[in-house]
Each structure stands twice: as C-alpha cells, then as structure tokens.
Amino acid sequence: MNATTTTPTHVVTADALGVVLAENVHVVGQLRETSIDSFDAAAGRLRRAERVFVLGAGRSGLALRMTAMRLMHLGLVVHVVGDVTTPAITRGDVLLVASGSGTTGAIVRAAENAAAAGAGIVAFTTDAASALAALAEVTVVIPAAAKQDHGGPLSEQYSGGLFEQSVLLLCDAIFHALWKASGATAEELWPRHANLE
C-alpha cells in the first residue's frame, strides 16, 4: 500500500480477517458433512502408531511441525522428517503428510518409501485422486483451493493459504480430541513442554 492510499488500514484488515475466518468456517462445515469419518480415522491411526513422522513442504510443513510438538506433549513419539535425529520409519509407524496438490515430489517419494517400509500413511490433501491419496491408508480431503488455483471459487486467499490454515486447524482438533480422550490433565502434559528456551 503506498502513502497516497486513502482506505483505512484497519478496515482492510478487518475485511481480510473476515474472509479468512469465513473460509475456514466453510471448510469445517464441508468436512463435517463429507469427511468426518476420514478425520476420525486419522485421529485413531495417529493414536495407535508406535511412532509418528511428520512431513510437509513450505507452510504445510510448518503447520505439521506445530502438530509434531502437540503430539509430543501428548506423549507420542514424534519425529520431523529431515531433522538429523530422525530414525528410519518402519512397520507400526505412521507418516503424517500434507500436500495440497497431492503431487509434491518429495512428499510423494517419502510416502512411497514409508509404504515400502510397511508404515501407515495419513495424508491431508485437496485432491482425492492424487498420487499421495493413492498411497495413504487414511486421506483427509480438504475442500480448499490448490496452490495454483488463483481466483477460483474455493478461496480468495493467496496460493494455498486456506489449505495450510486448514491443516493447522484440523491437526489442532485431532490433538484436542486425543488429549480429551486420554483423560490427562494439562498439568500432566506440561512437564513435556520444552524447558531449554
């Protein structure tokens, strides 16, 4: 915005916040109608995993790193793919991945390797017919625009923003559901919180 713009910033920001919130509410509503079973299955599959490995590229990867932290707080053994201390994935483990298109090369290759090792795969994507969805044991299809779907009917936001936000919200909801089902208190989870900060 340049100095000659007369539109008040707070009005523009408020409108933008309204768009973001409304789009996320719409996604949640669509998921409740069409994909609640796969969403529940994703939560159950993560709960039963011996170890959870998370992988996503870009902003989707950042959302999954946040999820890794919460699952660790819950007491699950969690690894972020790419960290130098991440071990080999094996049978009994689950790879949690996110790719809006379901075709991101590194994500699909990792899923292929996980499947070859006998691990389960839980995938978040916008495309139920994608290569990633075909590899997944559980696929949660998020009704959001793909990264290159600029100006389409599913989102006004830039380049996959709604998908990435949805991944974070849905994974936080999975954590919350697993936490409440565990019966653990917040005080019982707290000792796992980082203490080297």
For residue 78, tell me if it sits in a domain. yes
Residue 52 lies in a domain: yes
> 187 an active-site residue?
no
Q: Could you tell me the sign of the dihedral formed by the alpha carbons of 33, 131, 71, 65, in that order?
A: negative
For residue 9, the model assigns a pLDDT of 65
Q: Residues 33, 50, 156, 164: which is the catalytic one? A: 164
- Classify residue 109: in a domain, yes or no: yes
pLDDT at 151: 64
- CATH number for the domain harbouring residue 18: 3.40.50.10490
Q: How many distinct structural domains can be found in the chain? A: 1
> Does a structural domain hold residue 97?
yes
In this predicted structure, what is the pLDDT of residue 36? Answer: 86
Domain that holds residue 113: 10-192
Whether residue 142 is contained in a domain is answered as yes
* pLDDT tens track, the chain, 197 positions: 555 555 666 668 888 999 999 999 999 999 888 888 999 999 999 999 999 999 999 999 999 999 999 999 999 999 999 999 999 999 999 999 999 999 999 999 999 999 999 999 999 999 999 999 999 999 999 998 776 666 667 888 888 899 999 999 999 999 999 999 999 999 999 999 999 98
pTM: 0.90
Does any domain span residue 119? yes
Name residue 119's amino acid: A
Asked, for residue 28, whether it belongs to a domain, the answer is yes
Has residue 40 been placed in a domain?
yes
Distance CA 188, CA 158 (A): 40
Question: What pLDDT, on the 0 to 100 scale, is given for residue 21?
Answer: 94
